[in-house]
A and B are shown apart, each in its own frame.
Chain A
Amino acid sequence: MNHVKAAPAAELPLLIPPRPKLRLDPRYLPLTVTLGLFVAMFGAGSYAFDGFFSLQVFLNLFIDNSFLVITAIGMTFVIISGGIDLSVGSVIALTTMVLAALVENQGWSPALAIPLVLIMGAAIGFIQGFVIHFFELQPFIVTLAGMFLARGLCYLISINSIAITHSFFTEVSAIRFPLPFDSSISINVVIALAVFAGALYLAHYTRFGRTIYAMGGNEQSALLMGLPVARTKILTYTFSGFCSALAGVSFTFYMLSGYGLHAQGMEMDAIAAAVIGGTLLTGGSGYIAGTLAGVLIYGTIQTLIMFEGSLSSWWTKIVIGLLLLVFCLFQKVFERLTQRRGAARPA
């Protein structure tokens, strides 16, 4: 179940019957399927529509979904740790709202307001993690309350949308980094990729990351192993809260407004991206890279529907739901296969 430590590749032939050398490590199977699906979908789009196959269309997947990348990465950490965070969407909304209110209505400098909202997001995550750990409550119900709270706070600030006209935001949102073939990316993509790189490092090369995997695999044994479960669990939710706030900031650059209805249902999109990316919702297994692939698939579906023209936006939901179903069933089958193999091993 727990894939924290890679078994040395050389030992594998001893345990299982010899097979062709280029065999894929089964642990990477879900990730490969996800990547393969993305390539297939993008390929199908390129085949079906003129102008689909271009670097800019590919980069637009990042530009239009950078905040989803950031949120989903935070969510992936939480899910790997064996929890769930339903508050992410409303924390994004709250961030945009607080940012807009501070900058536009109170005349704060963005240099002060942005760090403040980031701290606020992290603090919300911290409190949720604290309550989940110390009262031994289900993450589901605590973050649900967090979701209510953050949305409610949005409406306390204002029930209307606050447009942002501050020069810092308009200028930052207009920045485009040119790339070859007449393409460019926005600053949000840079933020998202930075978060992605940081998350890769955090998940696979630090003690914190390993503890999260261990905790998600089996919290009891992680505790018995002497791992700092309490600290890690609270930090995981804090990280997710921080990611949501950062996604909120990047969402503000994208939308140039603060609104209580922003990012409605984003928590489900983030969960879907993580699951499609091969993260097991039971915890203990998953890849940050898979989540990025999940978001790309999500973006590709939207782009395909946009290029098709006659399909309505709700088809996105239906296709995402079906993909979720397929991946969950696939994971179930996969889980059963690996369990059977694991059970057969001692014999």
Chain B
Amino acid sequence: MTKKEVLSVLVDNHSGVLARVASLFGRRGYNIDSLTVSATNDPDISRITIVVSGDEAVINQIISQTRKLEETRDIFALNDCRSLLRELLLVKLSANESKRSAIREVADIYGATIVDLSVDSMIVELTGAPSKIDAFLGVIGEYDIIEMCRTGITALERGIKK
């Protein structure tokens, strides 16, 4: 049964680490849905958050193959209920004066902010759980989307790990 899994990978903060992880995924034919990399509070360590899909055997392989990389310090799957998943969306909509207030109404409901406005377009920003972003896009898709960009998921486990 195919499922989606969010993996958090802590790696040495070297140039080339991302290429190595990507090369591993490419070579073994693993499917990446999204991937984000960023610094952590420790300057020696970066965090890669990867969303992958596959059956349980595939996901176990992804974890153990990634763990084998020299630069991997830790890798774990983030449990849905015990983790916070966030994503940022920027969407540019074609919006003349007549549509603006309707879009603003939708944005307000979702807690999205209008961050840019021109004569015939606007850019809306929304941060939240990926499902919330999907839902927002479902509604806002009624309007004419000119361009959009999602950052991919970034995530942390709640509480302190024992």
Q: Is B truly associated with A?
A: no
Chain A interfacial positions (CB closer than 8 Å to B): none
